[in-house]
Amino acid sequence: MDVDIARIQLLTRVLEDRTQDPTLVDQVLQDSGLSRSEIAPPATTYNSHGEARFVRKACDAVADITFGAQAGLQFSSSSSVTAYISKYSRDLKQVLENTSRFHKIIDPSLAFNLHVSGNSATLEAEWKDATFSRYHRRTEFLLFAGVSRMRALTQVNVRPIQMRFQHEVGRHAAAYEKIGGFPVEFGTERLEIILSLESLDLPVPTYDPSLREHLLEYGERLLAEQYSARPKSRALVEGLVTRSMPGCIPNVENVAAELGFSTRTLARRLTDEGTTYREIVDDLRCDLAQTFIKNGMNLSEISYSLGYADQAAFSTAFKRWTGQSPSAFRDRVDHPLRPG
Backbone angle region of 304, left / alpha / beta, with phi > 0 → left and psi within -120 to 50 → alpha: alpha
Region 42-57 average pLDDT: 89
CA 202 to mean position of chain CA atoms: 27
**pLDDT (tens digit, 9 = 90+) per residue, 271-316?**
999 999 999 999 999 999 999 999 888 899 999 989 998 999 999 9
Window from 60-74, 173-187, 202-216, 290-304 with minimum mean pLDDT = 290-304
| Cβ 54 vs Cβ 71: under 8 Å | no
Q: With a threshold of 0.75, does the pTM exceed it?
A: yes
Query: Rounded to an integer, what is the distance from CA 110 to the centroid of its chain?
Result: 8
Question: Which pLDDT value is given to residue 228?
Answer: 58
Q: Tell me 126's DSSP state.
A: E
Residue 57, CA distances (Å) to 50, 64, 175, 257 in order: 10, 10, 19, 36
Average pLDDT over every residue of 253-260: 93
In 166-208, which residue ranges form alpha helices assigned H by DSSP?
Answer: 173-180, 197-200
